[in-house]
Chain A
């Protein structure tokens, strides 16, 4: 095995934070290494140093035995390092070809050779099975396709070492599987790959070796074949994390009832006759392949979208007007799917975000004037009660990590004491510790007597939290099965639209009552 990359004693501080502490790491040709660590462990920082975005305070990066000059992205690219950023570095208004070509020719050349570039791109796309339309505008591409462009960009720069920063954070399960198949293929062709992740199952299935980073230090290194999820979880978090268990349900009255809901959503996101009931003190889990109407369903229940047909009854009555203020007033709380876009206003302060949904409550405003003192006190309470780390009452929310942002949102919603809680993908992108916290909160809300509508793609999460599970397929809901009778195969069938088994089970469950 030839060693292609060595990081030696990398240390990096940001003010008081020690983001990387004497980190050493190596990579061999044709190897896939997973860099595993919780949010804030220093993974992105380490890779940014390798790529020359940041300059290390100490330590050295060597590619094929030669030291890279620090802080120079250009030098890293020349040495054959390619990076797929966590937030894609693409220009949406430009074409795929233009995005790939930028910076690959001498800047002062009087004419760029687009024809040659197009040929070369087509060749790479073919060789690695990454089809793209070179003249398509990037803004017209799906997230998966954009990632493909990012990978092609690196390959076009003749990368022999490819680094992917949380590549699956934005992908659906199927897209992620495809990505890992591509990475395997690339490794087989002699590329060396580091991918960053905090998801254990993908680390287990896609890597040859795992390097675990915690608090800026390498805490362990394992051959993937010689470890397991449990060990890795413990190494990553530094203690045993256990997701909380769900006590038996004591369902009460019907809180929320949907009858024949129809919404003409865009592109496969429509609802075509959705019926369900949600009781007090129970969690109803909705699983499904993304794009089958989950987002639309969450939108309707939380008041963002009005149904075109059908009724939504809260406590037995329809909303006076179907909009968000009335939904909130009726006791519906919402944890949105995309917390950055819909959950918080990133450039506003923590306290402003903390009271955003209840600004008109007499507690927080009087005669149109915000009661800052009360609002800030409420925010401070949320920060301590919900263990939101790294936040100041006056700090901008954008600077929080995903997990802490989600805890803030949870605090905001739950402090209002909603009867009904719509939780859409509540632990997407979070690390193990934060997931456990979120789960604990959701269980506590149900124990308090709220009805929780949990919409999630994560089957483990749904099985752990939900009392009854239904699948959403093409804008319709499958029959409900009790969580005790759910297994991967059965849920897979339900998500694929085969509901015969689920119908039998639902009937049995009804008969048993």
Chain B
């Protein structure tokens, strides 16, 4: 028992929660955008991998860290455009397209990685984002280091939550996006082109997925290896359901998952005699439980996964 309390009382634990949550926040927001406009994007796992690789490669070739993030966002948007081109105007299966993109983007990442560093046996590193203490606030005991001594992309992710919440619920564009996910015919009847809106939104969401991946190489691990995304993309897909398609709840879900993850990591080292795999399972088990509780209340976007064809009902 005291082991658990020790872990919960440590600053390091809570600091890690926000760090672990950052890619999940970004990825979940990305999926959320796509689904709000009516398209499932299972390409996330691959797009994150590609974002991680391209972000790392950009910085490794001499550019600065922000250029690395921008490159990941652009690459994400490009994959988003591919996904959108296949699923929106052509109306192909969103499942199949998304999984295809995940397979393609993952392998393509490794391929480019090997072209760039053909021989290295241990992955070459870059100088990552450093914690950026917020002057004044970071001095607050406990809360200071936990909340205000994070890296710049973490602040960015938090700001994006607020921005997206505002965008979706307070702006005309956000309303049009939500309406497209509910009934694209209604949007069209109000004189807006749902196809263009879908393509644009999917690209924006996929750009966030790319940035989510780049966070892994540019702020968390400082090098790239092909399996590093490790199912985080799939977690994001589940988190969106948990979040009931709302940005604020997406933040909550990501934090909750990250909390369990940080907690089990520390348990692994603190508790002896229990196979560590059991602890590894913990966050996933709890996510499934949380999902079961939340999903019962879910109000799924009505047009999710329904291709829109002009003039057809």
Contact = CB atoms under 8 A, between A and B. Distances in A.
Interface of A: 48, 51, 53-54, 72-74, 76-78, 83, 85, 87, 89-94, 98-99, 101-112, 153, 157
- Main SS at interface, chain B: helix
A93 B302 CA distance: 8
A120 to B, nearest CB: 15
B302 A103 contact: no
B183 A106 contact: no
Contact of A93 (B172, B185, B301, B310): B301
- Main SS at interface, chain A: loop
B189 A91 contact: no
B313 interface: yes
Contacts of B45: none
Interface in B85-135: none
Interface string B299-311: 1011000000011
Nearest to A104: B190
A77 B173 contact: no
Q: Which 7 A-B pairs have the closest CB atoms?
A: A103-B190, A91-B182, A74-B191, A89-B186, A89-B189, A105-B172, A91-B183
Contacts of A73: 188-191
B176 to A, nearest CB: 6
Contacts of B182: 91-94
15 contacts: A53-B310, A74-B191, A74-B192, A85-B185, A89-B186, A91-B179, A91-B182, A91-B183, A98-B179, A103-B187, A104-B172, A106-B172, A110-B171, A111-B170, A112-B172
A90 B175 contact: no
Given A91-B183, A103-B176, 6 more contacts: A85-B185, A91-B302, A92-B182, A94-B179, A98-B178, A103-B172
Contacts of A87: 185, 313
A352 B179 CA distance: 35
Contacts of B311: 48, 53-54
B309 to A, nearest CB: 12
B175 A101 contact: yes
A51 B175 CA distance: 23
Contacts of B187: 102-103
Contacts of B178: 91, 94, 98
A426 to B, nearest CB: 24
Interface string B270-292: 00000000000000000000000
A320 B173 CA distance: 58
Given A89-B183, A98-B179, A103-B190, A108 B173 contact: yes
Nearest to B310: A53
Question: In this complex, which of B170, B178, B179, B311 has the most chain A Cβ atoms within 10 angstroms of its Cβ?
Answer: B179
Contacts of A90: 183, 186
Interface string B184-206: 01111111100000000000000
Question: In this complex, which of A54, A87, A89 has the most chain B Cβ atoms within 10 angstroms of its Cβ?
Answer: A89
B313 A102 contact: no
Given A73-B189, A85-B189, A107 B172 contact: yes
Given A92-B182, A109-B171, A112-B175, A102 B301 contact: no
A94 B171 CA distance: 15
B77 to A, nearest CB: 19
A71 to B, nearest CB: 10
Nearest to A88: B186
B35 to A, nearest CB: 13
Contacts of A92: 182-183, 302
A99 B173 contact: no
A112 B170 contact: yes
A102 B171 contact: no
Contacts of A78: 191
A74 B23 CA distance: 40
Contacts of A99: 179, 186
A77 B179 contact: no
A112 B186 contact: no
Contacts of A54: 311
A102 B175 contact: yes
A98 B189 contact: no
A83 B171 CA distance: 25
A349 to B, nearest CB: 18
Contacts of A76: 191
A74 B171 CA distance: 20
